[in-house]
Structure 1
Amino acid sequence: MVAVSIIMPIYNVMDTLEKSIQSLLNQTCKDFELILVNDGSTDSSGRICDEFQKKDNRILVIHQENTGSGFARNAGLDQAVGEYIYFSDPDDYVEADLIKENLKIALENQANMVVFGYYEEIISNGKIKQTKELPDLSVLATKEDFRKSFRVFQKLNSNIIWNKFYRHRYLLENNCRFTGQRVGQDALFNHLVYRDLESVYFNPVPYYHYVTRIGSAMNRYHSDRFLLEYVIAEQFEKLLVHWQYEQIYHDLISLAYWSTLYVELNNLVLKDCPLNNHQKEQRMVAILHHPKIQEILFSLNSGLEEKPHIQLLIFLLKNAKYQLVLRVIRAKNQLSNNYYHVFELLKR
């Protein structure tokens, strides 16, 4: 047995893979195994994995047909022998003390989960904007502690998996596995983890570099994006119902369903969206007929009333100003894309 099993799903990431793997091999703590799951890559990613395996006996490479990152992570879990599980993505990289310092916290407290900070890096036109995200909590010892503090916990993005150590035994005992859903399997996995979670410890230090490249696959049109996001919102609501906290966190449920709508609005303004304006309007009308979307649009206590930009879009949607909605989304996206360059200009 090793202390930590690191699992990395890999699909056509040859440009970033070597840096990502090397950052893990450079860890100051050496008591780990690195499971690389080549999920049917058609570029040289599989060959890169094999070359690393020849150089380091801590590496296990699994080659399989393409099934998606969720099932690839499950394949890694099936082989893992570590006391703790850590998931890393092949287009990101990590600090050298990530394992050493978070494993120390995990082992000293026999934690079911350790949560740490991360850097968010946005790369656009060759320039990098970096921000730091850190947890605001310390220790949540009991199930009730975790549930009562979930609003604060969620501020660090409760859906992500790469800023967390998971106790392997806890995952096994609670049958925490990934689904085959193409988008959002991280969130669905964490919803299973959170159902009966206790003994959670936080480390207010950033170790992970989450890299977003403008123009990546996440910024491309997907015809089923709304339905995939809707499944995530439904599972989130079921989690809070399981806790019997659905009334306390009613606003978080509303925001989850609003996010499904907002993601689809962004989906419709992407450059590669094949729909014409009339088809986009029809798409929005169909989505607005979903019961949960109706509820957040017309409820007087959805919890969204204090968010002016959301209220503007809701007002336009309720009044069938669909083309104006799309123009607002385009303008907001353009402003976001230009923000970094304007900020750098102001600094100079």
Structure 2
Amino acid sequence: MSAERAWTWGVLALALALRLAGIGWCLPAPGRPLSYVPDESTLFLILERMQEAGHPVAEGGSYQTPLHPILVGGLCKALSWTGVLHLPASREEAAADPGILAPLYVVGRSLSLAMALATVWAVIRFGTFLWKDARAGVTAGALVAMAPAHIVQSHLNLFNVPAALWWTLAAWAGARGAEAPTKRSAAAMGLAFGAAVGTKLSCALALPALVLALWRGRATGRIWATFAACAAFAGVLSFPPLVTDPSGVLEMFSRIRSAHGVGEVPPILARCAMLGKWMAWGWGPPLLVAAVAGSLRRDTRLPYLLAHLLPIPAAILLARGGSLALLIPAIPFAALAAAPVVARPR
């Protein structure tokens, strides 16, 4: 076994060990609240929408993008078919015995843990490719593996860690396509970006950085990436929203409807409005920074990473108290940017 492979397995083992304890955290039980985390009410939505059973949704839940809950729900249903998992047949059964839902939490958290490990592996491979140094790649992976926010979010929120994985894969495919444009890399970038937006709408902030990669590629690659991203995102939009959006978008449309006598707003329109808000906040800064940094040095790797990093804190500042969970998808890019300094490659 080569030294690089040994270090990779060591970092993955470290990431697994640091995240395993969270799987059993706050499992529902008789006499204890079903969940202290609003986002875990997604599991009830899975039962409600996909199994025609479930439990009332916790206050404060917001799920505009159903891709990850669908993955969790599909896994739960597959396990129930094999007899490994028992799904409650009714709301009454779930309410009478909260402990019956504990396996559902374990399934959801196990999938998030697997995606967290996949993110660490992708960062190692991405960093090795980006900096052409195995130590830099392993260092970047270790930084993600030990990131406290990423560890906690592996079990605290069902969306942020999977979104970080899809975003990282999209950026990796974009970087490969910029260096050696192929239809496969362009399509992979588009599909991964569509999956990222389908998991968390704020991942649309990555689009300017991906445009930078496409701009350096061939026209064919741009067409394939655009088609793949549109197909993936359209597939996500085709699913009905799990719950209404409480962040103000639907309320804004409701006021417009009352003032002008317009009919009901389609959920897809509200979802696109939310997407447009994120795009407006994230479009300008990364392009400006990348252009300035690119003009100062010919090496475009660092500007490419900055283009992924900067729009997220900018969006939080503009949102005036937006969720700090938006920073989770930025952790891999911060690790990639810091890796050469920490590893000090020759």
Fold in common (TM above 0.5): no
Higher RCO (C-alpha under 8 Å, 6+ residues apart): 2
More helix by share: 2
TM-score (norm 1): 0.28
TM-score (norm 2): 0.29
